[in-house]
Structure 1
Amino acid sequence: MSIIFKANPELEDGEVNVIVEAAAPTPAVAELMRSVEAIGQSASGSVAIETSNRLEIVRKSAIVAIAVQGDDLLVRTTTHSLTTRNRLVRLMAKLSPRDFVQISRQVVINLRHLESLEASYSGNMTARLSGDIRETVSRRYVPALREALEA
């Protein structure tokens, strides 16, 4: 692998373009692109969450878990919980895939707040998070969670 810096005076201050070149789109190339994207997404340390009556700025590192509840999302932080009408996939797009992992169709957790995993019935697991929060890890998502923990 070679890394080359090329100045481009046409770019705005703070704007960066990254081009990945390879002979073929391999898994290693895809992982590199995900890593670069994660760095770009995590550059901002906070995310805006729109509640019913205001817009709250929340530190990404303070988010413990995000869960779908009906038509709403419950965002649990280290200090409080917020309810928003946002969609899970849209909020996940603002978060670093290195830190935030989907553990079921309806729940995303911050790996930095994961304290332990316990075996549960029928192949599921229970994730114990900071703040005494517990979430069920669907057996379908266990392999991806294990992979994220090894990275």
Structure 2
Amino acid sequence: MSIIFRANPELADGEVNVIVEAASPTPAVSALMRSVEAIGQTASATIPIETANRLEIVRKSAIVTIAVHGEDLLVRTTSQTLTTRNRLVKLMAKLPVRDFVQISRQAVINLRHLESLEASYSGNMTARLSGDIRETVSRRYVPALREALEA
């Protein structure tokens, strides 16, 4: 592995671009990219969740799942379920990529709360999480979940 620094005067102060080059996308490359992305995220241990009538401050480590439900998002924590009108992509951008993995177009889980994976029908799997929460892992997202578990 080689590490090269190149100054780019076109970038704004404080802006950093990281380019990872490899012959092919391997698990090691993915793990490196997740690590770099995690470094770039804020170090805050909490995240604000805006509900209909208040702003809840939630510990990121307490979030078990985030799932789309109609036009709302259900954020399930170890102690409560919050409903927000936020978008899944926007909320995911504020979470550490080493802990949170998308398991379908509608759901994200916290790997720290994952207890087991069970085979389901049509190549899907069922993720069993703390608090007896179950989420379906779409077969399209199974490889990414397995890779995240190996990292």
TM-score when normalising by structure 2: 0.81
Where structure 1 has 5 or more consecutive residues not aligned to the other structure, the ranges are 5-15
Aligned to 1:94: 94
Per-residue deviation, residues 102-145 of structure 1 (Å, max 9, x unmatched): 00110000000000000111111100000000000111111100
Identity %: 82
Aligned to 1:79: 79
Matched residue count: 139
Aligned to 1:116: 116
CA distance in 2 between partners of 1:113 and 1:36 (Å): 23
Per-residue deviation, residues 71-97 of structure 1 (Å, max 9, x unmatched): 100000000000000000000000011
Return the offset for 1:41: 1.9
CA distance in 2 between partners of 1:29 and 1:123 (Å): 26
Asked if the contact 2:46–2:58 (Cα under 8 Å) also holds between the matched residues in 1, the reply is: yes
Per the alignment, in what secondary structure is the counterpart of residue 94 of structure 1? coil
Q: Which amino acid aligns with 1:107?
A: A
Per the alignment, in what secondary structure is the counterpart of residue 76 of structure 1? strand
Aligned to 1:25: 21
Asked if the contact 1:125–1:138 (Cα under 8 Å) also holds between the matched residues in 2, the reply is: yes
Aligned to 1:47: 47
Aligned to 1:145: 145
Judged with a 3 Å threshold, the aligned counterparts in structure 2 of structure 1 residues 19 and 90 are, in CA distance, closer, same or farther, namely: closer
Return the offset for 1:35: 1.2
TM-score when normalising by structure 1: 0.81
Return the offset for 1:17: 6.8
CA distance in 1 between partners of 2:74 and 2:117 (Å): 22
Return the offset for 1:39: 2.6
Per the alignment, in what secondary structure is the counterpart of residue 131 of structure 1? coil
Aligned to 1:9: none
Per-residue deviation, residues 44-100 of structure 1 (Å, max 9, x unmatched): 111111001111110000000000001100000000000000000000000011100
Where structure 2 has 5 or more consecutive residues not aligned to the other structure, the ranges are 5-13
